[in-house]
Amino acid sequence: MNSTQTNESPRSSQTASVVRRAGLRMTKQRRAVVDAILASKDHPTAGAIFERAKQYEPGISLATIYNCLETMAKAGVINHLHFDNGPSRFCPNFVPHVHVLDDSNNKVIDVQLKAGLCPEDIFDLPPGVTVTSMEACLRGSIPEQYHSHEQQ
């Protein structure tokens, strides 16, 4: 008997893991929010997540979206991003990375350090400083082929 066999898709087991790590109980609404985030590679706003979550759960409210996003961000299971005065955006990429923002269209992509490098290799850190996480935004222009799009 295969004890790992379930009727869940890979995304729904990832969704369950995200909800659990945020310290939340699974509900249909939370599943819709997390499914919408995990399907998004374009660093969506809460409003965009709302529109996408409605595809999974038509009756969901914007307040539910905000509550769920805030709880998940506090628990560290999604990144809450702020770019200047624009609306908050959200990133489901759990691999350490920084963001590149295209000044002309506000598209955002994730970039990682080159293989084998760590932040201490590229930043002139004072002696004794220990890096526990990395948060940076590079600005410029991003060729169209690198723009991330929602994955459905």
Helix orientation angle between 46-56 and 28-38, rounded to the nearest 10 degrees: 120
Residue 110 near Zn ion by CB under 5 A: yes
Given the complex with Zn ion, which of 27 and 105 has the nearer CB atom? 105
Residue in 93, 113, 119, 148 binding Zn ion, rule: CB under 5 A: 93
CA distance 39 to 57: 15
Residue 19 near Zn ion by CB under 5 A: no
Q: How far is the CB of 98 from Zn ion (least distance, A)?
A: 8
Residue labelled with tokens 């805030």? 70
Query: Binders of Zn ion: how many residues, by CB under 5 A?
Result: 3
CA distance 108 to 4: 36
Overall size of the chain counted in residues: 152
Residues ≥6 apart with Cβ < 8 Å to 66: 46
Residue in 91, 100, 101, 142 binding Zn ion, rule: CB under 5 A: 91
Q: Which residue is nearest to Zn ion (CB)?
A: 91
Q: Which residues bind Zn ion (CB under 5 A)?
A: 91, 93, 110
